[in-house]
């Protein structure tokens, strides 16, 4: 049996009210953003996708924060001139609650591109990995992940096809993209792995 795990649990504050996104198989979906604070005080602004039914069933009486349980989903957006991987959190349940911010991810999948091992300007070891995580109906989500330190060095030696299990957090990161003379600020979403196991 093939290993597959894709679970995320977030607890944060609503940054934008849900707006209609699209309709698929007669189901309506809405998108919004959730602010999740890190221990450092920095804030990740994460994109959420929820069905109309999940939104309608949400209990708003539990507190000032929103807890989301679901999966990380991706798709290739070919509508624009450049192909773009769109990453979002597919909400399976929404609950209003109180408590501390939470951002935990558990993934098991297969390395589908050659890992890129490098050093940051401050000398930290880092490895970029694209993890293919299977889902039903012969589909897969291609999730960008980063590993640090000795784990980065270990994962960086893994060939394509290696099965990995990891735990970490989903984060947002802004970067500058040059288009001719124009500088555009873009946002990337990735999973920062805290632990990893080669299966």
Q: How far is CA 5 from CA 110, 123, 143, 184, in A?
A: 11, 32, 12, 35
Q: Are 115 and 143 part of one and the same domain?
A: yes
Greater pLDDT, 166 or 184: 166
The pTM (predicted TM-score) of the whole model is: 0.87
Euclidean distance between CA atoms 118 and 37, whole angstroms: 27
Q: Supply the CATH number for residue 36's domain.
A: 2.40.50.140
Q: Are 45 and 124 part of one and the same domain?
A: no
Give mean pLDDT, residues 146-175: 92
Give mean pLDDT, residues 158-183: 87
Q: Are 32 and 85 part of one and the same domain?
A: yes
Q: Which domain holds residue 168?
A: 106-198
Q: Are 50 and 65 part of one and the same domain?
A: yes
Q: Are 116 and 192 part of one and the same domain?
A: yes
Beta-bridge partners for 111 = 131
Q: Are 20 and 64 part of one and the same domain?
A: yes
Domains identified in the chain, total number: 2
β-strand pairing of 5-24 with 65-77: antiparallel
Residue 182's pLDDT is 82
Q: Which tens digit of pLDDT belongs to each residue from 16-38? A: 888 998 888 889 999 999 999 98
State yes or no: pLDDT of 1 exceeds 60.
Answer: no
Q: Are 81 and 56 part of one and the same domain?
A: yes
Euclidean distance between CA atoms 159 and 24, whole angstroms: 36
If one counts every other C-beta atom within 10 angstroms of the C-beta of residue 103, the result is 21
HSE on the CB side for 39, CA within 13 Å? 3
Q: Which tens digit of pLDDT belongs to each residue from 41-77? A: 889 999 999 999 999 888 777 778 999 999 999 987 7
Q: Are 77 and 47 part of one and the same domain?
A: yes
Euclidean distance between CA atoms 64 and 12, whole angstroms: 9
Q: Are 93 and 111 part of one and the same domain?
A: no
Q: Are 72 and 20 part of one and the same domain?
A: yes
Q: Are 78 and 19 part of one and the same domain?
A: yes
Q: Are 54 and 80 part of one and the same domain?
A: yes
Among residues 78, 101, 124, the one where a domain terminates is: 101
């Amino acid at each position: 049996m093939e290993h597959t795990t894709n679970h995320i649990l977030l607890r944060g504050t609503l940054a934008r009210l849900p707006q209609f996104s699209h309709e698929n198989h007669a189901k309506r979906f809405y998108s919004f953003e959730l602010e999740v604070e890190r221990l450092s005080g920095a804030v990740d602004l994460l994109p959420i996708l929820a069905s109309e039914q999940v939104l309608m069933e949400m209990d708003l009486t539990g507190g000032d924060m929103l807890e989301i349980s679901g999966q990380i989903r991706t798709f290739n957006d070919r509508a624009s001139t450049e192909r773009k991987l769109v990453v979002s959190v597919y909400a399976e349940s929404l609950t209003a609650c109180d408590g501390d911010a939470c951002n935990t991810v558990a993934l098991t999948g297969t390395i589908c591109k050659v890992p890129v091992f490098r050093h940051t300007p401050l000398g930290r070891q880092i490895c970029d990995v694209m993890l293919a995580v299977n889902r039903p109906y012969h589909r897969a989500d291609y999730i960008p992940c980063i590993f640090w330190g000795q784990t980065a060095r270990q994962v960086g030696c893994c060939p394509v096809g290696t099965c990995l299990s990891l735990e970490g957090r989903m984060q947002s990161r802004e970067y500058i993209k040059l288009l001719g003379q124009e500088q555009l600020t873009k946002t990337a979403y990735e999973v920062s792995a805290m632990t990893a196991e080669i299966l």
